[in-house]
Structure 1
Amino acid sequence: MTGVRTALVIGGGIAGPVTALALRKAGIEATVHEAHPGPSDGVGAMLTVAPNGLNALKVVGADDVVRAVGQPVPGMVMGDSRGNRFVESPGLSGLPASQAMARSDLFRVLHDHAVANGVRVEHGKRLVGVDETPTGVTARFADGSTATADILIGADGIRSTVRTLIDQDAPGPEYGGVLSFGGIATGSGVPAEPGVMHFVFGAAFIGYWAQPDGTIVWFGSLPHAEPMTSAQAREVPSADWMARLRELYTDDDLASTLLAHSDPDELFVTGPMEMMPPVPHWHRGRMVLVGDSAHAPSSSSGQGASLAVESAIELARCLRDLPDASSAFAAYENLRRPRVESIAAAAARTNRKKAGEDAAPSGPPSFPTPEQMLGPVHRHLIDWDQTVTA
């Protein structure tokens, strides 16, 4: 058992509450410090928690609360805008269905589940600095307050403050060449079976799924050479973005139909598709990174939330089983880095196609089988009861 007894978790999004829950399960008292003044509401658009993420959430008893706010989408269809289907799958055998949901709903239920299980969450705590001693680490916050514990965990997202405190030369997020958008189409007549995620490759990529009320949620990407922040993208009138998207999909009957039946005022302007390049240093001294602060793949992976949850669980296992923070952090990085970087690299290749940087192949696209495509990612299981060795 490690000598770590207390932890400061910086960030209350996805990785933060799950990390704190897993640490409590491992016998380590953790407090979450979140910069925003209260629980996030209406933050972000939609996301998917994949089977591997649900299996990791089960370790801390959070899988059912996540399912309660999600829509099961076990099936997958890959095809083109003319209705051709190249890959169809009802879901991988033996795995739970992926769950689609609003990002803000996922934030809310994880926060509430953590609090209900004894995790203290303090809001309005924006980290500005850290002081380390041989026996502990003290976080300094913008409101003048401080907090001290044995270790500090940066779960503070793709623009992590903790990452720069660990390494002032650490890279920041990279722009993927496209801006991401989403919307809800009503009365479009586009066929979409319930519980099936459609990925359509035509003049440009678009994905969609049907909601229980018959409306269709869609998501797409607009190639944009110059990077923009999310705030800058949202300053542009949504009607202007919708006009550009409709122009992009002019020659794509299915996508243009979805957009024609979508209200510009309800357009989700998600902003730039970003990802973290490989981060050289995940830990230093008594500080360590978890989730997007260390390994944010682009949204093309469909794995951002699930990988963050996996890493939270694995970090807690390592701290539970290894004799000190240094060896625990090293084992955690060794467990996680190969997997997350492989998934991020695959998503980066997808981004290049969406941005038009890779030439489209002639003839029908070629796809691996669903098991080949998704099995290695979705079937990943964490055995909480297995002892971690250095």
Structure 2
Amino acid sequence: MSTTRTTGTTGTTGTPGKALIIGGGIAGPVMALALRKAGIEAEIFEAYRTSAEGIGGTFMIAPNGLGALAVVGLEAEVGRIGQPVGPMVIEDGKGGVLAEFSGLADLPRGRLMRRAELYEVLQRRLGESGIAVHHGKRLVGAEEGPDGVTARFADGSSATGDLLIGADGTGSTVRTLIDPAAPAARYTGLLGIGGYSAHRLSGRAGRGETVHFANGARAFFGYWSLADGSGTAWFSNIPQAEPLTAEYVRSVGMAQWLGRCRELHADDVPARDVLRMADVETMEAFPRLEIMPSVPRWYRGRMVLVGDSVHAPSNSSGQGASLAVESAVELARCLRDLPDHTAAFAAYEAMRRPRVEKIAADAARTNSQKSSGPVGRMMFRLVAPIAMRTFMSPERMLRPVHGYRIDWDRRVAPVRGTSRHGRAA
């Protein structure tokens, strides 16, 4: 068994010398870059044998996520990928507008991008920064000692560092090492299908100025014009009582899934027109749209969780990636400023848990509307216009979420104590 000793020298303030980051998707690389900015070395260990260029669907990085990426020096690069998010228009599936969120004038516009685009930016920056990424390192166990933690991998190798940070997604191995009784990700009751269409929208939508979400008769539909005007990006959230396996979804084939989308949206405008010209070769399926329930233990000893491994809201939040990069940067601040890793982890959890769980709860309610059936969708269409003018106004809905900013230069104060469960008291 090969062993790599990666521990650095612990500073006089207790700042760890090196962290082992498990997971090389989005949160892991941002975590490594933030730690480097904080003066802490890091290495990334990714389970898959190859990098993930070209893999993944489209998501939005909201203004708060863009702010977190700016802290680690990625503002310019991220600003060159994807396309800006204009007003978000909520529709009834019949062409009628229920509400419009124009964003907040003092905040930057979010950006729609393919996961692969952000991944490539992060990999390039990791290389420029000299941060090592090891592939084919599937974590199977970890042992802690007085001076460090050793990660063991399925290929028989191991690595030892001062800290172990789990950025390994909703199926996190680190989460189960911290707490064998930790909850698993929960299926939302929705299947995700998306792709591109040659259909060209008209008006503001055709100029790429708006993003549309329609609560159709039988399924939820989202769409927006591509920045180059060549067509339309689209997705459908299909109610599916039992989760499907990736193998089953592949065996059915994208042509049949496109047929299913066309059937579900046959009476929805403009979904039926977009789907009529959809390119099956561009389609992707996400068979298990998931959400993380509240995780009782975010850390134990020298191990801690970040990103989707501990707080994955449903896709309805538009905040999954943004919250992940926020938490990575905030954890780095805590490790930089506090006297030992236990105090840092406690402050990090106290800082992040209320925010991420509030956003996740709000998104779960939205998700329930998507999968509630025809009666539930009809009720949403009836109450939405009133709600959007009152308690769901853009200022009330967006300000607390999109307006969050990380003050990197402000020192983190310790919390008063921790409970016997390793949580902030």
The equivalent of 1:386 in structure 2 is 410
Runs of 5+ consecutive residues of structure 2 not aligned to the other structure:
1-12, 415-425
Q: Is the 8 A contact 1:190 1:254 kept in 2?
A: no
Partner of 2:7: none
Question: What SS does the corresponding residue of 1:272 show, helix, strand or coil?
Answer: coil
The answer on 1:226 being equivalent to 2:242 is yes
Go from structure 1 to structure 2 and tell me whether the alpha carbon gap of 1:195 and 1:253 turns closer, same or farther (over 3 Å shift): closer
CA contact (8 A) 1:2 1:321 kept: no
> Following the alignment from structure 2 to structure 1, what is the Cα–Cα distance between the partners of residues 132 and 109?
31
SS of alignment partner, residue 294 of structure 2: coil
- In structure 2, the residue matched to 1:200 is 214
Q: CA deviation at 1:102?
A: 1.0
Q: CA deviation at 1:364?
A: 5.8
Whether 1:212 aligns to 2:231 is no
Instruction: Give the equivalent residue in structure 2 for 1:101.
Output: 113
Within 2, Cα distance between the matches of 1:85 and 1:92? 20
Equivalent position SS for 2:189: strand
Which of 254, 263, 273 aligns to 1:247? It is 263
Q: CA deviation at 1:199?
A: 1.4
Tell me the residue number matched to 1:363. 382
Structure 2 counterpart of 1:353: 369
CA deviation digits over 1:206-235, x for unaligned, max 9? 111111232110111111111113343222
Q: Is the 8 A contact 2:191 2:237 kept in 1?
A: yes
Asked whether the equivalents of residues 188 and 257 of structure 1 are also in contact (C-alpha less than 8 Å), the reply is no
Structure 1 runs (4+) deviating above 4 angstroms are 188-191
* Whole-Å separation in 2 of the counterparts to 1:376 and 1:81: 29
Residue 138 of structure 1 deviates from its aligned partner by 0.7
> Could you tell me which residue of structure 2 aligns to residue 311 of structure 1?
327
- The CA RMSD over aligned residues, in Å, is 1.6
> Matched residues, percent identical?
54
For 2:137, the equivalent position in structure 1 comes to 125
1:354 maps to a residue whose letter is K
Q: Distance in 1 between matches of 2:372 and 2:273?
A: 22
- Give the 3-state SS of the residue equivalent to 1:179 in structure 2: strand
- For residues 132-161 of structure 1, give each alpha carbon's deviation from its aligned partner in whole angstroms, at most 9, with x where no partner exists: 101100111122221111110000111011
1:284-303 aligned within 5 A: 284-303=300-319
Matches within 5 A, 1:1-390: 1-189=13-201, 191=203, 192=205, 193-203=207-217, 204-214=219-229, 215-356=231-372, 359=376, 360-361=378-379, 363=382, 365-366=384-385, 367=388, 368-390=392-414
1:92 counterpart letter in structure 2: L
Normalising to structure 2: TM-score of the pair?
A: 0.88
1:324/1:118 Cα in 2 relative to 1: closer, same or farther (>3 Å)?
same
Cα distance in structure 2, aligned partners of 1:23 and 1:30: 7
Hey, what's the Cα distance between the residues in 2 that align with 1:186 and 1:9? Answer: 41
CA separation in 1, counterparts of 2:192 and 2:104? Answer: 28
189 and 135 in structure 1: CA distance in 2 versus 1, 3 angstrom threshold:
closer
1:69 is paired with a residue of what secondary structure?
coil
When the two structures are superposed, what TM-score results if normalisation uses the length of structure 1?
0.96
Q: Which moved more, 1:129-138 or 1:231-240?
A: 231-240
In the alignment, structure 1 segments of 5+ residues that lack a partner are none
Query: How far apart, in 2, do the equivalents of 1:3 and 1:322 lie?
Result: 7
Question: How far off its partner does 1:273 sit?
Answer: 1.2
8 Å CA contact retained: 2:220, 2:238: no
Alpha-carbon offset, residue 115 of structure 1: 2.1
- Give the letter for the 1:212 counterpart: A
Q: Report the 3-state secondary structure (helix = DSSP H, G, I; strand = E; otherwise coil) of the residue aligned with 1:68.
A: coil
User: Which segment is superposed worse, 346-355 or 83-92?
Assistant: 83-92
CA contact (8 A) 1:172 1:276 kept: yes
Partners of 1:212 and 1:328 in 2: CA distance: 42
Q: Is the CA contact (8 Å cut-off) linking 1:39 and 1:108 kept in structure 2?
A: no
1:136 partner letter:
G
Q: CA deviation at 1:356?
A: 1.7
| Aligned counterparts of 1:56 and 1:363: Cα–Cα separation in 2 | 37
| Bigger shift: residues 23-32 or 85-94 | 85-94
| Aligned-pair CA distance for 1:189 | 4.3
Q: Residues 309 and 21 of structure 1: is their aligned pair in 2 closer, same or farther, counting only changes over 3 Å?
A: same
Please tell me the residue identity of whatever aligns with 1:21.
Answer: L
* Structure 1 CA distance for aligned equivalents of residues 26 and 268 of structure 2: 36
1:136–1:226: structure 2 CA closer, same or farther, 3 Å change rule? Answer: same
